[in-house]
Amino acid sequence: MGRMKFIGLLCLSAAAVALISIVAVEGCGGGVAAFTIFSLIRSSAATSEERERAAAGKLLERYVTEICITLDEISHIYNRTLVALFRQNARVLRDVSRRSSKLCREAEARRRSGAVLPRGAAGSLGVWLFGTRGALYTAEMCEALERIVRPACEHVERGGGLFSKEQTVALMRMNDAVDAMTHEVSAALSAESASAGLAGVRRQRDAVLDYVRECTCDQIARGGVGDGDDARTDLLFLTLLGETKTLALRMSGLLKVKRYGEQSGDVWK
C-alpha cells in the first residue's frame, strides 16, 4: 500500500514538472522556448486588473454624469427663480420650488446610499472617494438652492416688496456668474484631469465670492435692513447672497475631490 502511494506521488510530481516547464528545442537555431505556468498566472492577473480598471472607469463616468446633470439643473432653477422673483411670478416660483425639492430629495438619497464599488473594483479608492464626497457636496448644493427658492416663493406669495434697482442689477450679475461657474465645473469634471480645469474654476469661485462680499458691503452701506416690506426684501437679498456663496464653495470643492481621487486611485492613470 505504501509503495502504491509512493508511485502516485511520483506521478503527480512528474505531471507538475511537465506543467511548470514545457521546453521546445529547435534544432537549427538552437533556440529554446520555455513556457511556464507562471506566465499564465501573470497573464490572468493582468486581465483581472484590466477588468477592475474598466469597472472602476465606468463607475467614475456614471458619478461624473450624475453630478453634471445636477449642476445643469441647479443653474436652470437658480436662473428661473431670480427671473420669476424680479417679475413677481408666483406660478413659476411654485414650479421651481417643486423641482428644487425633488432635486434635493434625489441628491440626499444618493448621499445616504454612498458610493458602492462593484465587485472587481474594490481597489479603486479614488473612485470611492470621489463618489462619496461628490455626493455629499452635491446634496449640500441642492440644500443651498432650496434655501434660495423657498424663501423667494414665500416672499412673492405673501406680497413682499420689489428689489431696488441696485439689488436687481446685483442679482442679475450674480446669476450670470453662477451660470458661468456651473459650466466651468462641468467641463472640468468631464476632462481627464481635474488639475487642467482647477485654475479656471478657482477664478470663477473667487469672482463670485468677491462679488458677494461687495454686494453685502453695499447693502450695509445703504442701511442694512430697512423697515416693513423693505426689511423683508433686504433680508431675502442677503439670504440669496449667502446661499450663492455656499453654492460657489461646494462647486469648487467638487474639483478638489476629483483631484484627491486621482491621487488616491489608479483608474485615472
Q: What is the CATH number of the domain that holds 170?
A: 1.20.58.220
Q: Mean pLDDT over residues 124-137, rounded?
A: 86
3-state secondary structure of 117: coil
Q: Is residue 221 part of a domain?
A: yes
Q: Mean pLDDT over residues 245-264, rounded?
A: 86
Name the residue among 214, 199, 193, 177 with its Cα closest to residue 252: 199
Q: Is residue 43 part of a domain?
A: no
pLDDT-above-70 percentage for the chain: 72
User: Is residue 7 scored above 60 in pLDDT?
Assistant: no
Q: Is residue 16 part of a domain?
A: no
Q: Is residue 27 part of a domain?
A: no
Residue 17 has what pLDDT?
45
Residue 190 has what pLDDT?
87
The residue segments making up the domain with residue 155 are 56-264
Please give the single-letter amino acid code of residue 255.
L
Q: Is residue 124 part of a domain?
A: yes
Residue 82 has what pLDDT?
96
User: Is residue 154 scored above 60 in pLDDT?
Assistant: yes
**With helix as H, strand as E and coil as C, how does 10-22 read?**
HHHHHHHHHHHEE
Please give the single-letter amino acid code of residue 83.
V
Residue 174 has what pLDDT?
94
pLDDT digit string, tens, across residues 205-236 = 999 999 999 999 999 888 767 666 688 999 99
Residue 19 has what pLDDT?
41
pTM, entire model: 0.77
pLDDT digit string, tens, across residues 155-208 = 999 988 899 999 999 999 999 999 999 999 999 898 877 677 788 888 999 999
Rounded distance, CA 51 to CA 39, Å?
Answer: 18
Q: Is residue 172 part of a domain?
A: yes
User: Is residue 3 scored above 60 in pLDDT?
Assistant: no
Q: Is residue 215 part of a domain?
A: yes
pLDDT band for position 2 (cuts 50, 70, 90): low
Structurally, the chain folds into a number of domains equal to 1
Rounded distance, CA 221 to CA 259, Å?
Answer: 40
Strands (E), the chain: 21-25, 32-36
Residue 198 has what pLDDT?
81
Q: Is residue 237 part of a domain?
A: yes
